[in-house]
Amino acid sequence: MRRRSQIRLPVIIVVVVVLLLVILIVKVMPGLGKQDPNDVVAAFYQYEQEGDFGSAWELFHPVMQERFSKNAYVTERSHIYMSHYGVETFSFVLGKEEDVQNWKMAKDTEEFAYATRVEVEQTFKSKFGIFKVIQDIYVVEEDDGWRIVWEF
């Protein structure tokens, strides 16, 4: 009987120590597991690569969602890529990232105290040849995470 309780005690101690370490890590690093702006931009363009424009639209900031209804965005974006450009997909590269303060998406819109600008280069292989589009994408933090905004 005594041997069984001697074996259980070290196991219990190890479990308690591991739990305390997990709690400590979560308290010390509150941002652990949160996406950063580049992750959101990459996810946005991966959705668009796959033709999933609805999921890409979901990553827009509410001011962008007001500017484009989901249905209009999905219809127009797919029409531009498939019909006008004659492409099925594209490749993209995320460029440099820069923090900006007091940024506005347009003159008549709210100011964001903090945004991250990410340069995105898309390469299209179309019936008209290969061409590239370079666009600055801005990412701002909302209550539910980082959201995409464009400059107009």
Over the stretch 82-108, which tens digit does the pLDDT of each residue have?
A: 788 888 889 999 999 999 999 999 998
Sheet holding 90-104, edge to edge: 90-104, 111-126, 129-142, 145-150
The answer on pLDDT for 29 being more than 90 is: no
Check whether 69 has a pLDDT greater than 50.
Answer: yes
pLDDT at position 118 over 90: yes
Q: pLDDT by residue (tens digit) across 53-67?
A: 999 999 999 999 999
**CA dihedral sign, ordered 57, 40, 133, 114:** positive
Phi, psi at 151, each rounded to 5°: -90, 135
**67-104: string of b/e by CB count within 10 Å (b at 16+)?**
beeeeebbeebeeebeeebebeebebeeeeeeeeeebe
Q: How does residue 22 score in pLDDT terms, banded at 50, 70 and 90?
A: low
Rounded distance between C-alpha atoms, residue 73 and residue 23, angstroms: 43
For 119-128, the pLDDT digits (tens) are: 999 999 988 8
Q: Is 17 exposed, middle or buried (0-12, 13-18, 19+ CB in 10 A)?
A: exposed
- pTM strictly above 0.85: no
Domain ranges (residues) in the chain: 1-32, 34-150
Decide yes or no: CATH 3.10.450.100 for domain 34-150: yes
Indicate whether 6 pLDDT > 80: no
Element (H, E) at 2: helix 2-28
